[in-house]
Amino acid sequence: MRKAFHEELLKIAQVDPRVFLLLGDLGYGEVEAFAKSCPDQFCNVGVAEQNMAGIACGLAMEGYIVVIYSIANFPILRCLEQIRNDICYHGANVKIVTTGSGLAYGPHGMSHHNTEDIAIMRALPEIVVLSPADCLEARGAVRAMMAHDGPIYYRCGYKNEPDLHGGQIDFQIGRAIPVRDGRHVTLIGAGPITYRALGAAELLARDGIEARVISMATIKPIDKSAIITAGRETGAIVTIEEHNVIGGLGGAVAEVLAETGTNVAFKAIGIPDTYVRVVGTHGWLLDRYGFSPQSIAEIAKGVIRRRQWPSHVPA
Amino acid sequence: MNNKEDLSSSRELAAKIRGHSLRMSFATKSPHLGSMLSMADLLAVLYTHILRVDPNNAHWPERDRFILSKGHGGAALFAVLAERGFFPTAWLETYRRDNGKLSGHISHQVPGVEFSTGSLGHGMPVAVGMAMAAKQVAREHRVFCLMGDGDCMEGSTWEAAMFAAHHRLDNLVGIIDYNRVTALGQLEDVIELEPLDERWAAFGWSVLRVDGHDHEQIRQALSALPLQRAKPSMVVARTIKGKGARWMEGTVESHYAPPSEEQLAAALAELGVGP
């Protein structure tokens, strides 16, 4: 996905001299084409995230569309106050991009896991939070992000994510993207983990359960209408995110459901409120923390049993 | 230019800044008076002799950018901007009041304020970004960043210092209101910043130390920019916290304590700016 991100960004930068890419000394093997093609729109700030965020804000206030790029939690946690006070409060046109979110950097360990970012970033007023699920969404998200005037947090995947969508998609900020239709339960994912939700839907189909799958590629502003419709039409919603179970996608969806008074059975699947202290590759960690399609499917069945209406589901 | 007449105008402005700051602090029992008073002369010289700004066109693209990183002293900058005509002086009476025009820490929502600050260490990285933008398109304006002692304790300032020197941003000018008093103590008891000039020089800046209350020294330093070609400039201005309010000069109390009615009257009389 990061490759798709960089390819799309470069295309835009080549025709728009206002685009400026700042690096926190990360991006080896990915950023070279940009650096070579647009050297005047590129700067490696060095290992200094606070300075990177501040410089981005200064450049943006002078008319540039600035992308700051790093990995995992690096471009948000160290410089969170710069993002809040400088970038967001001033409405600076800065795009904060991180690659390898969730547990993607698996065996690198806890320092490289990005599992609290959605909760933190969506609490910042006036910022948009994007989490594309596959390369097609990633490209659409880059185009939408660069056309949007204002701060955006872009939670990029890592590499070799499977395609979620068969055909073309219409990526719009604030609009959920349908993946699969269904009437018995809705699985809402954000980011590459959505592919595992789709796998769960396929398993459920074997038992005659039709699961709707939605990619919530914009976590903020969230697509309330897609959530309310899914609740009304399926009566059961499960959210799946590679993030602490507190405050992320699940929290955002729960807020909508609670405030609209919809009588929907609900469960949020995320990383339990703990640091990952075991060592393992990305896929292994995901299975270990309950993200296997089998596990998601079992949880979905439990949620369906809690549905208060209608009762036409085989279970 | 007639230097004598020249400096009387900035001295007059400095007295007005101090008068407004004292009244604003007194009116709402607000803190940070000492921080306002210590940089009053720096602001007066900047806005009289140095900065190219237009009160009638605050967003004039060719303006010099001025970032106040020590945003807690913002009332003093509000005072200058009002006196220079960016907004009515009547706004100063709304400082920190309900639905007022002016917040305790500096805000870009006020005409003439380039950037909002309040948490220390934010000004210099943003100033660096602005200086970098100007260099990109060979624009002539300069970027000034006025910092306090606290700014020099924040790591982000030094990240920006390294970057600015590496990229030879000689359109960038740092000024330190070096009053050597923090919120809780004297620098020698909190975190010693000396040798401050050598530290900035070691980071690749061209450094000049001045008396931060001597208008001629300040004006001369800031009229010869950059101090050195291909290097960012740093003017370390030694100041006295609370300067002009005799009872608080150089004290830790000057950071928080507003003046009493008697102190206000005495200070205004001494400044000759009236009640």
Digit-coded pLDDT (tens) for A200-237: 999 999 999 999 999 999 999 999 999 999 999 999 99
Query: Do residue B122 and residue A46 have CB atoms under 8 angstroms apart?
Result: no
Q: Which residue has the tokens 């880059």?
A: A142
Task: List, for residues B150-194, the tens digit of each pLDDT value.
Answer: 999 999 999 999 999 999 999 999 999 999 999 999 999 999 999
Give the ipTM.
0.95
Closest-CA distance, B156 to chain A, in angstroms, reads: 6
Q: At residue A313, does pLDDT exceed 70?
A: no
Q: Which residue has the tokens 């960089």?
A: A6
Start-end ranges of CATH 3.40.50.920 in chain A? 177-305
Helix, strand or coil for residue A185?
Answer: strand
Please report, as a single letter, which amino acid is at residue A65: I
- Class in CATH terms, A177-305: alpha beta
User: Which of A51, A61, A63 is closest, CB to CB, to B163?
Assistant: A51
Residue A221 half-sphere exposure toward CB, CA atoms < 13 A:
8
Query: Do residue A54 and residue B129 have CB atoms under 8 angstroms apart?
Result: yes
- Per DSSP, the residues of A248-290 read SHHHHHHHHHHHHT---EEEEEEE-SS---S---HHHHHHHTT
Chain A residues close to B121, C-beta within 8 Å = 50
Taking the CB of residue B144, how many other CB atoms lie within 10 A of it? 26
In B, minimum Cα distance to A87 occurs at B126
Task: List, for residues B140-149, the tens digit of each pLDDT value.
Answer: 999 999 999 9
Closest-CA distance, A144 to chain B, in angstroms, reads: 24
Chain A residues close to B130, C-beta within 8 Å = 58-59, 61-62
What distance, in Å, lies between the first and last C-alpha atoms of chain A? 37
Query: Do residue A61 and residue B119 have CB atoms under 8 angstroms apart?
Result: no
Q: How confident is the model at residue B6 (pLDDT cuts 50, 70, 90)?
A: confident
Start-end ranges of CATH 3.40.50.970 in chain A? 2-155
Question: What does the pLDDT read at residue A307?
Answer: 87
Question: What does the pLDDT read at residue A261?
Answer: 78
All domains in chain B, ordered by first residue: 3-271 (3.40.50.970)
Chain A residues close to B131, C-beta within 8 Å = 58
User: Which of B118, B125, B136 is closest, CB to CB, to A51?
Assistant: B125
In CATH, the number for domain A2-155 is 3.40.50.970
CA distance A217 to A194: 10
Assess A163–B contact: CB distance below 8 Å, yes or no: no
Q: Give the relative orientation of helices B3-27 and B74-84 as an angle to the nearest 10 degrees.
A: 130
Q: Rounded to two decimals, what is the model's pTM? A: 0.96
Closest-CA distance, A110 to chain B, in angstroms, reads: 24
Q: Which residues contact B17 (CB under 8 A, 6 or more apart)?
A: B36, B40, B43, B44, B76, B79, B80, B83
Task: List, for residues A159-195, the tens digit of each pLDDT value.
Answer: 999 999 988 999 999 999 999 999 999 999 999 999 9
Are A245 and A269 spatial neighbours (Cβ–Cβ below 8 Å)?
yes
